[in-house]
C-alpha cells in the first residue's frame, strides 16, 4: 500500500497525542483525578477543588477512604499509627481507614469531617512517619559532614566552647541584627552548608538540623515555598523570638498545639508520658536539651530526637515520663560519684561502676537516641554520662514544647495542596547525575 501525503497525515493524527490547549492567565484548573483514586474523590460528591486537595493530602499521608454500603455513617479506623515501624506497616495492620456510605448524606458528612481528619492525632502521626524518615537522612548528612571535617564545633583552648557561635558559608547567609538569615532562598542556604560545611555549637546546630529535616521532607522547590529565605533564622534564644519562627517558641503564649500534639489543657501533665501514649513516632523531629538538674550552665546539650524503641517508650508511659528520666539522672549521679570515690560508706568504686552501668542500661536512657552536634546520634544515657564526667552534676532531659512543629505541619499541608492543584508533587528529586536533594518516601 502506498502512503500518500493525506494518508500519512491521517496516520500521524491517530498515533500522536493531541497537543494540550494553552493555559490562559486565570487560575490553574484542578488536575484530573488520578486513576488510582477515583472512588475516594467520588465519595466527596460535588466538592470544590480545595476539598479535593485536602482529600489528596490525607491520602498522601496514608489514609484510605473506602465506599461501604454497610455503614450508615462515616466509620473511622485510625489505628495505632504512632506505634508502627513504618507507614506501610500501619496500613498493613488496618490503620488509617475511613469507611464511607456511598450516598449524598455520606458525602456531606465526609466533607464536614475533613478539618477533623487534618487536625486528628492519627493524621499527625502519619505525617510523623514521614518526618522520621527525613530525620534519619538529615542527621546522616550533617554528621557525615562533621566526620569529614567540614562541619565543626567552636573551640575554646582545648575544649568545646560553651558560647553561642555560628559561622555558615558567607555567600548564602548574612547577619541581620544579632541573627543569621538566608541571603537568598532557604534551600540555597542549606545546600551551601551541605556542600561547604561551617561552624556551629549545639544550639545553632539544632536549628540547622531542624531546617534540614524539612528540606529532606519537602524537597528543594516545596521547601522554598514552605519557608521564605528571610524566615530561615539562626540565633540565640532571646534574639530569635521576634522572628516568625521565634514567635512559635514563647513560653507564655497559648498555642493550639505544642510539640505537634499537646493542646493547652495537656500541658499540666508530663510531656514524656503524654507523647509516649501516642507511640514512638510521636517524638519524631522534636527538639530538647540534656541539662544539669540545677538548671545552671554547668552542662547543657541541645538535641534533636532520632529514635526511641517501643520498650523505652513504654517505660516513659508507665513510669512517669520525663520525671522518670529525672529520677534516673539522680540515681546515675549518686553511682557516678561513688565511682569517683566521693561518697564514703556507699560501697566500693567497682560497685558504683556496676550500679552506674545498670542505671544507664535502663531502656529510657539506653534506647532513646538523640542527635547532638558534634557527637552525632548517641543515646540519652551516653549523653548523661558524658556530661556527668564533665560537670559532675545530675542531669535531666527537657523537651522543647514549641508550636514550631505545628507550624511546619500546617505549612506542609498548605504547600502540598497548592502544588497538587497545580499538578505538582513534593518530595526530594530522584538521585541521579546533577540531581539535588535525596530520595525519600514517595510523595504521592
Are residues 298 and 378 located together in one domain of the fold?
yes
Report the DSSP pairing between strands 64-67 and 97-100. Answer: parallel
> Could you tell me if residue 20 is inside a domain?
no
Q: Please say which residue of 118, 134, 167 terminates a domain.
A: 118
> Could you tell me if residue 90 is inside a domain?
yes
Are residues 97 and 131 located together in one domain of the fold?
no
Cell 500521524 sits on residue: 12
Which runs of E-coded beta strand occur in 108-230?
A: 151-152, 155-156, 159-160, 166-167, 173-176, 179-182, 198-200
Are residues 48 and 184 located together in one domain of the fold?
no
Q: Please say which residue of 118, 148, 166 terminates a domain.
A: 118
Are residues 65 and 147 located together in one domain of the fold?
no
> Could you tell me if residue 237 is inside a domain?
yes
Q: Name the pTM for this structure.
A: 0.86
> Could you tell me if residue 249 is inside a domain?
yes
> Could you tell me if residue 326 is inside a domain?
yes
Are residues 312 and 215 located together in one domain of the fold?
yes
The tens-digit pLDDT sequence of the chain (444 residues) is 433 433 333 333 333 333 333 333 333 333 444 444 456 788 998 899 999 999 999 999 999 999 999 999 999 999 999 999 999 999 999 999 999 999 999 999 999 999 999 999 999 999 999 999 999 999 999 999 999 999 997 866 656 656 678 999 999 999 999 999 999 999 999 999 999 999 999 999 999 999 999 999 999 999 999 999 999 999 999 999 999 999 999 999 999 999 999 999 999 999 999 999 999 999 999 999 999 998 877 788 999 999 999 999 999 999 999 999 999 999 999 999 988 765 555 557 888 899 999 999 999 999 999 999 999 999 999 999 999 998 889 999 999 999 999 999 999 999 999 999 999 988 765 443 333 333 333 333
SS3 8: helix
97 lies in which domain range? 32-118
**Distance (Å, whole) CA 385 – CA 370:** 14
Are residues 307 and 247 located together in one domain of the fold?
yes
Number of structural domains found in the chain: 2
Are residues 145 and 97 located together in one domain of the fold?
no
Are residues 65 and 156 located together in one domain of the fold?
no
| Length of the chain measured in residues | 444
Are residues 55 and 196 located together in one domain of the fold?
no
Are residues 223 and 295 located together in one domain of the fold?
yes
Radius of gyration of the chain (CA): 26
Amino acid at each position: 500500500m502506498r502512503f500518500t501525503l493525506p494518508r500519512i497525515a491521517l496516520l500521524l493524527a491517530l498515533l500522536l497525542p493531541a497537543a494540550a490547549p494553552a493555559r490562559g492567565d486565570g487560575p490553574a484548573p484542578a488536575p484530573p483525578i488520578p486513576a488510582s483514586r477515583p472512588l475516594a474523590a467520588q465519595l466527596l460528591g460535588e466538592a470544590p477543588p480545595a476539598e479535593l486537595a485536602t482529600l489528596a493530602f490525607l491520602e498522601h499521608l496514608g489514609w484510605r477512604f473506602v465506599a461501604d454500603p454497610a455503614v450508615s455513617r462515616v466509620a473511622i479506623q485510625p489505628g495505632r499509627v504512632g506505634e508502627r515501624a513504618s507507614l506501610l506497616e500501619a496500613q498493613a495492620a488496618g490503620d488509617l481507614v475511613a469507611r464511607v456510605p456511598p450516598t449524598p448524606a455520606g458525602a456531606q458528612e465526609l466533607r464536614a469531617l475533613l478539618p477533623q481528619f487534618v487536625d486528628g492525632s492519627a493524621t499527625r502521626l502519619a505525617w510523623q512517619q514521614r518526618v522520621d524518615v527525613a530525620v534519619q537522612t538529615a542527621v546522616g548528612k550533617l554528621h557525615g559532614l562533621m566526620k569529614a571535617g567540614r562541619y565543626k564545633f567552636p573551640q575554646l583552648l582545648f575544649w568545646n566552647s560553651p558560647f553561642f557561635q555560628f559561622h555558615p558559608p558567607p555567600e548564602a547567609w548574612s547577619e541581620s541584627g544579632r541573627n543569621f538569615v538566608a541571603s537568598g532562598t532557604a534551600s540555597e542556604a542549606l545546600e551551601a552548608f551541605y556542600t561547604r560545611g561551617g561552624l556551629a555549637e549545639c544550639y545553632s546546630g539544632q536549628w540547622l538540623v531542624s531546617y534540614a529535616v524539612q528540606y529532606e521532607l519537602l524537597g528543594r522547590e516545596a521547601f522554598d515555598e514552605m519557608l521564605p529565605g528571610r524566615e530561615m533564622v539562626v540565633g540565640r534564644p532571646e534574639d530569635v523570638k521576634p522572628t516568625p519562627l521565634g514567635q512559635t517558641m514563647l513560653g507564655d503564649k497559648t498555642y493550639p498545639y505544642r510539640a505537634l500534639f499537646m493542646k493547652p489543657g495537656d500541658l499540666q501533665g508530663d510531656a514524656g508520658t503524654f507523647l509516649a501514649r501516642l507511640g514512638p513516632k510521636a517524638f519524631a523531629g522534636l527538639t530538647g536539651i540534656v541539662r544539669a538538674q540545677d538548671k545552671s550552665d554547668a552542662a547543657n546539650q541541645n538535641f534533636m530526637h532520632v529514635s526511641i524503641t517501643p520498650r523505652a517508650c513504654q517505660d516513659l508511659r508507665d513510669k512517669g515520663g520525663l520525671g522518670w528520666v529525672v529520677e534516673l539522672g539522680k540515681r546515675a549521679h549518686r553511682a557516678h560519684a561513688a565511682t569517683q570515690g566521693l561518697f564514703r560508706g556507699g560501697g566500693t568504686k567497682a560497685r558504683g561502676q556496676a550500679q552506674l552501668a545498670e542505671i544507664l542500661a535502663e531502656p529510657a536512657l539506653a534506647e532513646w537516641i538523640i542527635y547532638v552536634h558534634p557527637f552525632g546520634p548517641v543515646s540519652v544515657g551516653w549523653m548523661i554520662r558524658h556530661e556527668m564526667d564533665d560537670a559532675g552534676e545530675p542531669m535531666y532531659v527537657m523537651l522543647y514544647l514549641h508550636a514550631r512543629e505545628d507550624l511546619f505541619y500546617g505549612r506542609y499541608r498548605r504547600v502540598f495542596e497548592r502544588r497538587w492543584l497545580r499538578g505538582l508533587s513534593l518530595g526530594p528529586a530522584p538521585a541521579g547525575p546533577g540531581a539535588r536533594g535525596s530520595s525519600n518516601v514517595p510523595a504521592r
